Structure 1
């Protein structure tokens, strides 16, 4: 008698598990990003020139992004072959263990060159884990969703990003209030070691979620493919390229307004580390509130239309952001960064559900992971490096940075427009047409006159 109630709870449970799991994974990823901006340059890449140390530190940050496509390929294949849930349990374990190991890693003064080598290796493991995590979390939430609610439910996986950022900023704000000597010797390690507690929580939550019903139907009918990625390259490579471009501002914008902005404001605007972290914390809360509202609105006006509007707003947003950030005080900086982040986060919240619907269920994990992670390697990994180079090359001028951000948003706008123009090739449109025809046939069978 109680059996039917269990599946009824699964959509909310799957969305919650996607949110908690991605929050933990992004917490791990963001504490590395924050440490890269604040301490890793000095501890693992000591140099007489802070610019060189910062660039070297951000290079290890970029390595994690370059490893993400590999994680997307590996876990995309496993997720399309053996199931979304098993792939997600593995990625969570990998990320948690690698993050704790970073917290235990000796620095350059203790073991010399071995320290940055081990740091890079652990960063690669993190990159592979996140590369496999995102696609599975989006699909577990979206494929459990009630009919017509994929965009909203998939957005819960995206909501883990600002939540993880909030946790990481709280953790680093606490340790940066310490004496600098204590911070650099052991304080920075505490946020990494705390990941062990979050790992246990995440595993327990994910154990309570069933396998994706859409994947289960494919598996039950023996329609899984031996090489899903080969089918992606054979039949959907054009859509993959457009999805890579479409994700650009959603990925690059996060690391521009957070990771790069920490280095920019502390080195070029003269803002204290604690002040910019407080500003980013306030902005992260605004982002956390804005994302579900954006997903709700997108369901009502259409995902493609909403994404084009959000990308257009993102193209304009860096100019007021930099004008306000240059003032160097809390309120203008929060308002300025929040303008850019709300535009970017609105896009980021909706793009997951939109992209996941583009591809067939049999190859969906592989296709969206490849699209997102290749974009992450290029746009996410290089954005802090390009931003740092532009800030150094055009010292005292913010407009090259604003133009760079506008170009990133413009790429997403063009690709979303192209995807919308190719509606007949997308799986979500074909599925919607099939469901409408199927529903009409049922209505006609029940009442031929009403159907006419």
Structure 2
């Protein structure tokens, strides 16, 4: 048996210093973990198609192959979610998160050492995909644990504010990966393609060391500690208990992910390939992306604080609806090749629409499940959806662009993603929403 949503555990308030340490470690740990994971998406758009597929392959086809590897990494995420959430629900959030960081850091560092197709032939893409699978396993266990370190330690009434810092850390990871490639591209083109692209991956060894040090020094979440102290029984297989008791909540979480996750990888991965297609310079797209992430971080926190006041549902719906409204303008603005309009495209789509969904997701998802199965519930809803939303979206978008030589089908695809999530928002029952502040301090214990 598992505990119901409202665990009834006594509130144990963390000291201000401990709370700040949890907050800082979650932001930095999340940023470093996702820096590693997002590097592949940037490299897939810029270099992997040329280096890991046969010479003479059409650039769009090579990029499509690289994004296929990108999608395969997402197929591994639910398995990683199940593995690490099992550890997290039974043995502690902290132990699971240190493990994900070790696995991610090792896989990313090895990518920087990978021989190319010209050196070892077909084994180059094979080994690349295997390392991407390891990244997927690590990423599958990361998000849920990072969310819980914040939602289960945040003061009552500030769940949205505190959990949004974790999402800001995720954006920081995006920012760092884009910035790393932007700086690497300052090298002469021949040097960048020869060895410069490897540098962002090799830096991950430093990322690994810093991340493990930070995460090993934070306390376990108060909700998990209190659940153990009050003798709550944890299911032998928490994921099965989630599917047995909360299948509707898992499906709702998956539907909410469709627009958020699917659009994000179109904005940050496919947009680089689309920029090449229309003749916009890579560095201009990357710089616009970098600026949008810098501004996105305070926007995320602002949305999180607003969710504490008005709830997550209206903010989440604002994000999914504005995503649909931006579907056509986003590509039209990039197509102008004018820096001002390209920057505007990323500000509206990435900094506003995406942020509204991203910032409120931890608070909303945490309210669906009780402490003893929450990690597993988050992993199932979050990571299964990632396979067919974020994992497939750059591949689908690239395939549509290749087939129709127009961004219009990709825009229609974005509208479809937004519609799915908007309808899912409407299906959220009021009792679940009520737990965001009262019971989601269930999210805090």
Task: Say if 1:433 and 1:114 are closer, same or farther in 2 by CA, change over 3 A.
Answer: closer
Q: 1:373-412, aligned counterparts within 5 Å? A: 373-395=383-405, 397-412=406-421
With a CA cutoff of 8 Å and minimum separation of 6, indicate the structure with the bigger relative contact order: 2
Contact 2:88/2:145, CA 8 A, preserved across alignment: yes
Compared CA separation, residues 339 and 429, structure 1 to 2 (3 A):
closer
| Alpha-carbon distance between aligned partners in 2 of 1:40 and 1:244, rounded to the nearest angstrom | 30
Of 270, 279, 286, which aligns to 1:260?
270
Report what 1:23 is aligned to. 31
CA distance in 2, matches of 1:433, 1:91: 25
Q: Is the 8 A contact 2:98 2:215 kept in 1?
A: yes
1:114 aligns with 2:123: yes
Q: 2: CA distance between counterparts of 1:339 and 1:221? A: 47
Q: Distance in 2 between matches of 1:91 and 1:321?
A: 34
Matched, 1:357 2:364: no
Cα deviation digits, residues 205-246 of structure 1 (max 9, x gap):
112211111111112233222111111111101110111011
What is the aligned partner in structure 1 of residue 239 from structure 2? 229
Aligned equivalent of 2:338: 329
After TM superposition, give the deviation of residue 426 of structure 1 in Å: 6.9
Q: Select which of 305, 308, 327 maps to 2:314.
A: 305
Contact (CA 8 Å) 2:157, 2:437: kept in 1 or not? no
- 1:21 Cα deviation after fit: 0.8
- Structure 2 residue 145 is the aligned partner of structure 1 residue 152: no
CA distance in 1, matches of 2:401, 2:298: 31
Structure 1 position 430, deviation (Å): 10
- Show structure 1 runs of 5+ residues with no match: 436-452
Secondary structure at 2:112 match in 1:
helix
Contact persistence 1:79–1:85 (CA under 8 A): yes
| Counterpart Cα distance in 1 of 2:360 and 2:401 | 31
Q: Secondary structure at 2:427's aligned position in 1?
A: helix
Say whether 1:344 aligns with 2:354.
Answer: yes
Aligned pair 1:316/2:325, yes or no?
A: yes
1:441 paired residue number: none
Aligned 1:412-427 pairs, distance under 5 A? 412-419=421-428, 422-424=429-431
- Alignment-derived partner of residue 251 in structure 2: 241
Measured at CA, do residues 242 and 6 of structure 1 come closer, stay the same or move farther in structure 2, by a change above 3 Å? closer
Structure 2 unaligned regions, length at least 5 = 1-11
In 2: Cα distance, 1:409 partner to 1:262 partner: 21
Distance in 1 between residues matched to 2:240 and 2:365, nearest whole Å: 19
* Aligned partner of 2:435 among 428, 433, 438: 428
Alignment deviations for residues 344-369 of structure 1 (CA, whole Å, 9 cap, x no partner):
11211111111111111111000111
> For residue 57 of structure 2, what is the aligned residue in structure 1?
48
SS in 2 for 1:247: helix
- Out of 358, 364, 367, the position equivalent to 2:377 is 367
Count of paired positions? 428
The structure having more radius of gyration, on CA atoms, is 1
Match of 2:8 in 1: none
Question: What's the CA shift for 1:172?
Answer: 0.6
Aligned-pair CA distance for 1:7: 3.2
**Which residue in the other structure is 1:165 paired with?**
174
CA RMSD after TM alignment: 1.9
Report the TM-score, using the length of structure 1 for normalisation: 0.91
**Aligned residue number for residue 21 of structure 2:** 13
Structure 1 window deviating more from structure 2 (278-287 vs 209-218): it is: 278-287
